[in-house]
Every structure is written in C-alpha cells, then in structure tokens.
C-alpha cells in the first residue's frame, strides 16, 4: 500500500448521461465499454504495464490511472508508458495528484472520471499489480448481464474468496466479531470437521456481502446510484464498506472462474501461496486471519487505519445481544498483540 496519505475529501461525482458503447445481446456490456481504474504509487510502472496489457488482451481500450503522489522520476516513466501504449491502441488516461490521496478518495476520483468518459458502461477496479487471467472479463460481463448488478473476480491470494467460489456459498461477517476474531469460530470449525468439508458446488455467480477492490466490476448504473468510497476511511476497509453498499443497492456476485493473480505478494493476503496462473490450486491453503495480521503489524499508519476502519465496520453490525461477545473478542486481539510483543 502507499506511503502515508494526505487526508482529502472525495470529489463529487458528476452526473453524465453519455450512453454506453454498443452492448451485446440482452444488454451485455461490451468489453470495449469497460474502463479499468487503478491507483499507482512509488515506482511501479513495470507491474502496471503487465496489468494493462493483460486487460487489453481481453478487449479493454481505456485505463484510468491515478498517479497517487508520484515523484518526478516515476511520473516520467508513467507518461512514457502511456505514450507507448497509445501506439498499441490502448488509451491510458493519467489523473495526477501531487499528494497521495489514499485508496478511498483516489477511487472516488476515478469513478468520477469513468462517469465523465464518453461511452463507459462499467468500471473495473484493479490494483496496479493485479493480472486477470485470460477470459476473466468475458466471464464477468456474462455474469453482470445475468445478475444486473456489480460482479467481482476472485483474488487467488484471498482464502475466503477461493473458498466461496469452491463451495458456492459466502459466509457473511457476524455481529459480535471484532477484527476477525470470533470465539464461536472454533466451534463452527469443529462442527464442520465432524460433518466433513463442504462439497464443491461452484456456481457461475455467487451472492457475496463484500469484496476487495481488486477484480470488482461495477456497471454505470451503480456507479451513479451508490455513493463513492468514503474519503474519511482514507485506506483499508473502504473497499469492504463500498462493496457492501453495492451489494445492498443493486447486488454483488462473485464469479468463480474470473481469477485475478497478484504480481507482488499482498501484505494482507489470507493464504500462504497463490495458485500460479494456469497452474494447479495448492492442496492446502493456510488461513491467516485479520486478527493475526493486526497483532503482528508495525505501529505505523497502516495499523492505525486498519484498526480504526475495522472497528467502524464491526461496530456497524453490533446488536445489544452481541455487545458482550464483541468486548471479549476485542480483549482477545489485545492479548494476541501482547503475546506477539513478548516473542
């Protein structure tokens, strides 16, 4: 993730009524009507180029990139990359920000840019080091036409997304959970072990309550009807808040066949190894929960925003009956962090 961002308000999303480019049969959005939106920081043009060429191979023509507080050298590299891709017929629209806006205000700005782009029928959110596997966009567009709402690919380094795609069932966050800790979880796992692992029952599209940004495709109607990511989140958790609002306001489905790999290991990946592109799925995936990551993080801005935003999301699900459990789960995180400090 980016260096310490400057807190900034999200720009207002303009209302544009430009029709989407020609759609396929039954209202299916055409690949060339999809605008990829991504944030980049530091010096990551090489990875960004791989991502852009991967989506272009699936038919994308427009990529909106927010240069999130780039230094002069990386900014020049990005400009040269955009010029080179233009010669290949790929339109890279660079939006510059002198300060790092973080992910929430950054994506809000790119959503506004998508709505201002003539003919854009959907925004496809991707990290600058995400590489969708060939054919992923077609699967997403098929599922979007069938469901009518937002859809998401499967990040191969996220255990819960891979498992949701495998079983065809998504587990929603439960009231009383705190930072990924839930004292009821061991009992649920023991019960599932007694019953046996749920059989594989993949579906083309599985309803899911929330997803990360990477792989999320949002049609124009939802871009306009759902408020953009909250600027006050700055980073971390803003993707869950935004995608949960998409799920509640038009629908959100996970498309199991649309796999998205990461060129760089994510700091918050939830399984030990991602399946390589075109390779077999690992036999065992080790879950590494949110609580473990929080308890072992360095005390910097990442930890601050992770804790603050996770607390807001967890509190929003609280009920009077779940409050005592929530307090105990918070104490569990404190104990876990203290134990790590002694190691």
310 versus 111: the higher-pLDDT residue is 111
Whole-number pLDDT of residue 297: 66
Q: What is the pLDDT of residue 197?
A: 67
Instruction: For residue 336, give Cα distances in angstroms to 56, 166, 315, 343.
Output: 45, 31, 20, 11
Given CA atoms 329, 335, 337, 340 in this order, what sign does their dihedral have?
A: negative
Per DSSP, the three-state class of 125 is strand
End-to-end CA distance of the chain, in Å? 26
Summarize the confidence of residues 97-116 as an average pLDDT. Answer: 97
Residues 235 and 103: beta-carbon distance below 8 Å: yes
pLDDT of residue 187: 78
Question: What pairs with residue 252 in β-bridges?
Answer: 150
* Residue 184 to residues 178, 207, 289, Cα–Cα distance (Å): 12, 24, 15
Question: Around 67, how many Cα atoms within 13 Å sit in the side-chain half-sphere?
Answer: 21
Residues 266-318: tens digit of each pLDDT: 655 555 444 444 444 444 444 455 556 665 667 778 888 888 999 899 999 99
Dihedral of alpha carbons 221, 10, 102, 305, sign: negative
- pLDDT exceeds cutoff 70 at 50: yes
**Does pLDDT of 327 surpass 50?**
yes
Which position has the higher pLDDT, 227 or 24? 227
CB 91 within 8 A of CB 61: yes
Paired with 68 in beta bridges are: 97
Residue pLDDT, tens place only, 57-98: 999 999 999 999 999 999 999 999 999 999 999 999 999 999
Q: How confident is the model at residue 194 (pLDDT cuts 50, 70, 90)?
A: confident
Q: How many CB atoms lie within 10 A of CB 325?
A: 20
């Amino acid at each position: 993730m980016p260096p310490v961002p400057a807190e900034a308000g999200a720009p207002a999303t303009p209302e544009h009524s430009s029709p989407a480019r020609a759609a396929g049969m039954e209202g299916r959005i055409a690949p060339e009507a999809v605008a990829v939106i991504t944030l980049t920081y530091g010096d990551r043009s090489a990875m960004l180029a791989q991502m852009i060429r991967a989506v272009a191979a699936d038919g994308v023509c427009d990529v909106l990139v927010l240069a999130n507080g780039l230094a002069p050298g990386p900014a020049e590299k990005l400009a040269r990359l955009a010029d080179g891709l233009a010669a290949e017929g790929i339109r890279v629209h660079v939006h510059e920000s002198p300060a790092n806006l973080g992910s929430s205000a950054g994506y809000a700005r790119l959503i506004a840019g998508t709505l201002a782009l003539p003919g854009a029928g959907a925004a496809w959110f991707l990290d600058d080091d995400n590489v969708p596997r060939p054919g992923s966009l077609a699967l997403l567009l098929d599922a979007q036409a069938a469901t009518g709402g937002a859809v998401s690919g499967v990040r191969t380094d996220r255990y819960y997304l891979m498992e949701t795609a495998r079983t065809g069932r998504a587990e929603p966050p439960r009231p009383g959970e705190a930072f990924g800790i839930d004292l009821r979880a061991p009992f649920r796992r023991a019960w599932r072990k007694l019953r046996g692992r749920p059989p594989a029952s993949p579906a083309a599209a599985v309803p899911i309550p929330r997803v990360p940004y990477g792989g999320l495709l949002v049609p124009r109607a939802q871009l306009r009807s759902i408020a953009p990511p909250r600027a006050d989140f700055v980073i971390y958790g803003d993707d869950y808040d935004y995608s949960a609002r998409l799920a509640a306001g038009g629908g959100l489905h996970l498309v199991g066949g649309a796999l998205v790999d990461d060129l760089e290991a994510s700091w918050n990946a939830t399984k030990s190894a991602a399946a390589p592109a075109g390779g077999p799925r690992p036999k065992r995936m080790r879950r590494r929960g949110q609580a473990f990551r929080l308890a072992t993080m360095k005390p910097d801005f990442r930890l601050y925003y992770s804790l603050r935003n996770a607390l807001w999301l967890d509190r929003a699900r609280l009920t009077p009956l779940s409050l005592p459990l929530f307090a105990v789960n918070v104490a569990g995180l404190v104990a876990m962090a203290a134990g790590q400090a002694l190691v």
